[in-house]
Amino acid sequence: MLLHILNRSPLSSLVYRQAIATMGTEDRLLLIEDGVQGALPTLVRHFEALEGRLFALREDLVARGLAGKCDASVQVVDVDGFVELTEEAERTVSWY
């Protein structure tokens, strides 16, 4: 299982499509920086293929005033949880 890390909003970059197309069936995706916009209910449909495997970084949500506004399907983790996700994955892949 690999952890993919995406820092771009689906509104500003299509790189998320490459990430999703590359991901294995067990792989997870963590949204960080502007990428956390993808966790909003209006944008989360772009990631519907990843049900249960989509995460968003709490600190970056808070910095953008988006805390508590994520879609219920997204698992919110803090930076400690970010490290934990990297522990559980064999490797990480960053998309930017």
Partner 1 sequence: MRYAILLLGGPYSAQAAHSALRFARAVLARGHRLEGVFFYHDGVQNAARLMAPPQDEPHLVDGWVGLNAEQGVPLMVCIAAALRRGLMDEREATRHGKQGHSVEAPFELTGLGQLVDLGLGCDRLVTFGP
Report if residue 96 touches partner 1, rule: CB under 8 A. Answer: yes
91 near partner 1, rule: CB under 8 A = yes
Length of the chain as a residue count: 96
Contact 6, 95 (CB under 8 A): yes
Q: What's the gap between Cα 92 and its chain centre?
A: 13
**Secondary structure E strands in 1-96:** 2-6, 28-31, 54-57, 75-77, 91-95
Residue 92 near partner 1 by CB under 8 A: yes
Site string for partner 1, 56-85 (x = CB under 8 A): ---xx------------------xx-xxx-
Least gap, CB of 57 to partner 1 (angstroms): 9
Provide the terminal-to-terminal Cα distance of the chain, rounded to the nearest Å. Answer: 20
CB of 36 to partner 1, least distance (A): 11
Write out the residues near partner 1 by the rule CB under 8 A: 5, 7, 32-34, 59-60, 79-80, 82-84, 86-87, 89, 91-92, 94-96
